[in-house]
Amino acid sequence: MTSINTNFSALRAQLASKIAEQGFNQSVHRLTSGAKLNSGADDAAGSAVHTKLVREVDGVRSAINTASDMINALAIIDNAYEQLDDMLLRMRELAIQSANGIYADTDRQKMDTERAALLIEVNNITESTKFNSKKLLDGTFKDIPTQVGAHAVEQINVEIEKIEGIRLGRWWDLGFTNNDFSDATVTSTSGTTVNIPGWQIELSQVALKPDTNADGSVNDQIGGFTTPTDPTPTPSNGSQTSAGDDEAPTSAGSMSYSVDGEHSHLRLLSENLTVTGGDVTHGPYVISDNAVTLSAGDKVTFNWRAANGDDAFDVYAYLLETTTGNTIQLLDEMGAGTTDWAASETVVSTAGTYKFVFISGTYDYTHGTLSGASLYIDDVDVETANGPEVVVEYINVLDVESARTAIDVLNTANEQVATARAYVGALTNRVQSAINVLTTRKTEQEKAAGRIADADYARESERLAKMQILYKASNKMLAEANNMKNVLKLIQGN
């Protein structure tokens, strides 16, 4: 078509010039930045995939650092075990030496002095072995997730058992059975009562004093005696204060227990309880079958953790004197979050024969109607001035018989440290294997992201040259189109 008003050839040349200019500028941008993706418009689908890959790579890189930190912590634990093993072996040498009848009592006294010094250091290692201010050997390094991937489920759980003088040897013979809840065998059940070795678990509500409930619908008896007074019976939230725990929930929900995992502990759980405006509901609870005789100055220790479920926790524990019903408080904690494992230590103020009672509890932190929480218990121990010669804490080498007993106890202790060290070694290898997999994964993901986002210099250089030629050619054609010789000749009358 021949037209004066519209120069189609010039328009086509302008379009070609603009396209060539855009291609030229894009190639220049890619060559100067080194990136093929400089905006989402460069490759919309590729940009989305690249963003996902970059996020994955960043997560994996962070997981490698986290897992490496756990490797460092495990290395500290392994070194502590090595030191413990050396000290136990030296104590065993002293016991073997003392068991020889040729030595006098004064000689054995000197041997026992060295043994006692080594015991102090054994217990000191438990307290001083730390990573990032976190104790590693006191039994609170439990349920520690090691992130070994970019997703929440990619974790390795680490649990290091308590190890000190009172936990080395035949600690299960100290006074009551199953004090670490390693045996979850159900020996009997009756209604809401479940018995496992050494413990009676009650899966129902119990009221701590003060209990003003006139109809007596909530049980306030444990072990044949009235429950003690809760020092914090009415948790407050701003201007609201609960009515305490003397009322049954309007909907009972459920109460349960569990003993799970290779390194066991007891969990007492309540969930889906419907309550009145922040009321506390205590239960389930557990009481020890056996009682232990304690003197004033003896210590009771255990490790615990609380977790909010449907709402806040209110946990309590005490010693129950089996003849008088007197109690000694061991634990009274409440809160809306989830705690780390913590060590509890209580010095006995009054001599007596005591059972252990641990009570889970919950309340609605916002003083609403839904509640539920958990209490975890482990490593219940009694430390006396003089205990049975079944653990490293209580052995001596002051006479031949005690020295022979010490040899057997120390043999058991060495085996326990060897087992614990093997677990840490296997765990170290597992975490290291995860790091190796993560490193390969990160490398391949970085390569994939690079193929999407990085500029291909050979291709872009070729494209730049092409666009330069097209740009110059289109500009030349634009000049030719504007000349339009035939139309000009008509105008000029030629």
Q: pTM of this prediction? A: 0.78
C-alpha 27/C-alpha 42 separation (Å) is 11
Say if residues 401 and 274 touch (Cβ distance below 8 Å): no
pLDDT at 415: 96
Closest to 165 measured CA to CA, from 125, 131, 128: 125
pLDDT at 3: 56
pLDDT at 120: 95
Instruction: State both tokens at 140.
Output: 């609170």
pLDDT at 114: 96
Residues 6+ apart with CB under 8 A from 377: 181, 265, 266, 268, 286, 302, 303, 304, 317, 358
For 99-211, where are the alpha helices, taking DSSP H only? 105-128
Instruction: State both tokens at 256.
Output: 């349960």
All CATH 1.20.1330.10 domain ranges in the chain, comma separated: 35-172+389-454
Q: Where are the beta strands (DSSP E) in 20-67?
A: none
Q: Domain 35-172+389-454 is classified in which CATH homologous superfamily?
A: f41 fragment of flagellin, N-terminal domain (1.20.1330.10)
pLDDT in tens, the chain (494 residues): 555 566 666 666 666 667 766 666 666 566 565 566 656 555 667 667 767 777 888 888 888 998 999 999 999 999 999 999 999 999 999 999 999 989 999 999 999 999 999 999 999 998 899 999 899 999 999 888 888 887 778 888 898 988 999 999 998 888 778 888 988 899 999 999 999 999 999 999 998 876 555 456 788 899 999 999 887 766 665 555 555 565 777 777 889 999 875 567 999 999 988 877 777 889 999 999 989 999 999 999 999 999 987 788 999 999 999 999 999 999 999 888 889 999 999 999 999 999 999 999 988 877 777 888 999 999 999 988 888 999 999 999 999 999 999 999 999 999 999 999 999 999 999 999 999 988 888 888 777 766 665 655 566 666 656 766 765 666 666 666 666 555 555 555 55
pLDDT at 168: 94
* 292-294 and 352-363 beta bridge pairing: antiparallel
Closest to 386 measured CA to CA, from 291, 292, 298, 290: 298
- Which letter, b or e, does each residue of 259-269 get, where b requires 16 or more Cβ atoms within 10 Å of its Cβ? beeebbbbbbb
CATH of domain 175-386: 2.60.120
Backbone phi and psi for residue 195, each to the nearest 5 degrees, phi listed first: -110, 130
226 bridge partner residues: 221
All CATH 2.60.120 domain ranges in the chain, comma separated: 175-386
pLDDT at 78: 96
C-alpha 288/C-alpha 173 separation (Å) is 15
Name the maximum alpha-carbon separation found in the chain: 142
